[in-house]
Structure 1
Amino acid sequence: MRSFRQILKVALSAAACCLISHTAQAQLSLGLKGGVNFSTMNAQNSNISNFEDRIAPNFAVVFNYRLGPAFSIQAEPGFSSRGATVRPNQPEPGIIITPGSLYQRTMKGVVKVNYFELPIVAQYRPHLTEKLEAIISAGPEIRFRTGPQKLETTTATYVSGEQKSVVTTTKSYSGNDAVSTFDAGLTAGAGVAYPIGRIKIFLEGRYHLGLYNLASNTDDNRSDAVKIHNRGASAVLGVTVPIFK
């Protein structure tokens, strides 16, 4: 334990020296970004495995600390709505209720989980033209669930292909019935940035790989333990403005 603390102290000291050495050329920019998540879940040893993408919003404040002409560190605290869409593995068979009339029912479930999310990414930003920059980002991210997990179920009925009714119900889950309040993982992506005056507009896409088991209330040591992880992509549009140099 002592050796680990010594290594940690040396690493922090080295990082501090590195930041101090770059202070003269560093520039802090502040901004906002918003976009959409194409989120899903990966499940192992679960009776629910047919997850599909759920499209949901995200937005964040951006703190970009430039370390050099092409390198920066960026923190992005904000809101991120995740989850997944769940459909039955097999559609329900139609039932003939009268000659020529076929009754069918379809079901769709949407798992909704809202998070406070904090990615901290290292960025390489080479110039593609005199003004246009490429953005290559990678780093860790953590998130905390901000409310109960929700399951929205929609059931639609059809007779001879004509929709007759749609019923939507929503249930909320918390405690051991919900996914873990904490999640951590990695994110990486690419994009472009273009300055307009002092404002810099950027567009970026990323992939998000959750590493923490969201079903952490189960016994992870068992070989057949349920494991659920966040997965998905995101696309965002944002702006940054330098606030001091």
Structure 2
Amino acid sequence: MKNYKYIGILVLAWLFTLPATAQLGEERHNFAVGINGGLNMNSVSFDPKIKQNTLNGMEMGVTMRYMSEKYFKMMCGVQMEINYSQRGWSEKIEDGSGNTYSRTMNYVEIPLLAHLAFGKDALNRGVKFFINAGPQIGFFLSDKEEMSDNWDTSQRPNGVTEQYGKAVENKFDYGIAAGAGLELSTGIGHFLLEGRYYMGLGDFYKSTKKDYFGRSAHSYIGVRATYLFDITK
């Protein structure tokens, strides 16, 4: 996991320093705000491993974007969001008991993303392709466990049951988010459709040598739609 952290830091550093190293471009001062909403397909990376199905959760929030410059056909900016995000996991229990278990975990998350767009200028109408990438932090709010009525953990083939009823120990989350999508700019605003991946680098359970779990990190693939309207051009 340390290698992933180093690679992520290098990629993010390159994205955020790209405008500074490129040739001087056309200045932009386009600030837009709006709302976003979508679906997260969640899982958790556990060590020891826990078999899982995808747990779907909603995500919604506000988006703020500042486009600063244009280099040839690439437009550069920064995008920040404040979102309510549902995460967690759903277990794939194959012990013949018919048990089901899932935990939905609610977070406020704040991604700060480099925004690179290609195609029609954001000031004009048209379609363009964009890439978002950057760090993301989150703050745990609450969670809810759901299990079947005939709950019985005596037949678990891998013997991993420590997670049941275990409270979140680390409420601060951090990781790397990256996505890509299409934007349609019109006379009434900007409409964006994006697919995004989040890889958590922090664990929500303690992970020292004396703790049971060595890894408990969120990840999700999300699909979201965003509407932005211009404040300044």
TM-score normalised by the chain length of structure 1: 0.71
Local SS of the residue matching 1:180 = coil
CA distance in 1, matches of 2:139, 2:213: 23
Give the equivalent residue in structure 2 for 1:151.
145
Partner of 1:108: 100
Q: How does 1:1-245 map to 2 (within 5 A)?
A: 25-45=28-48, 49-69=50-70, 70-92=75-97, 106-127=98-119, 131-147=126-142, 149-155=143-149, 177-216=167-206, 218=207, 220-221=208-209, 225-245=213-233
Shift of residue 221 of structure 1?
A: 4.1
Q: Structure 1: how far apart are the matches of 2:108 and 2:175?
A: 14
CA contact (8 A) 2:27 2:68 kept: no
Change (3 A) 1:154 1:229: same
Matches of 2:25 and 2:127 in 1, distance apart?
Answer: 24
The Cα offsets for residues 184-231 of structure 1, whole Å up to 9 and x where unpaired, read as: 000111100001213110000011100001112x4x245975310101
| Structure 2: stretches of 5+ with no match in the other structure | 1-16, 151-163
SS in 1 for 2:118: coil
**Unaligned regions of 5+ residues in structure 1, if any?**
1-14, 93-105, 157-171
CA distance in 2, matches of 1:37, 1:51: 15
C-alpha deviation, 1:178, in angstroms: 2.1
Q: Secondary structure at the match of 2:43?
A: strand
Could you tell me how far 1:81 is from its partner in structure 2? 0.6
Deviates more, 1:178-187 or 1:137-146: 178-187
For the Cα contact (< 8 Å) 1:140–1:187, is it kept in 2? yes
Q: What do residues 95-144 of structure 1 show as CA deviations (whole Å, max 9, x unaligned)?
A: xxxxxxxxxxx221111100000011101110179711101111010000
- Rate the CA distance shift 1:30–1:140 in 2: closer, same or farther, 3 A: same
SS in 2 for 1:68: strand
Q: CA RMSD in A?
A: 3.1
Residue equivalent to 2:14: none
Give the length in aligned residue pairs.
Answer: 196
Instruction: Provide the rounded CA distance (Å) in 1 between the counterparts of 2:213 and 2:41.
Output: 27
TM-score normalised to the size of structure 2? 0.74
How much identity, in percent, do the aligned residues show? 21
SS at match of 1:125: strand
Instruction: Evaluate the alpha carbon distance shift between residue 196 and residue 25 of structure 1 in structure 2; reply closer, same or farther with a 3 A threshold.
Output: closer
Q: Alpha carbons of 1:126 and 1:22: their partners in 2 closer, same or farther (altered >3 Å)?
A: closer
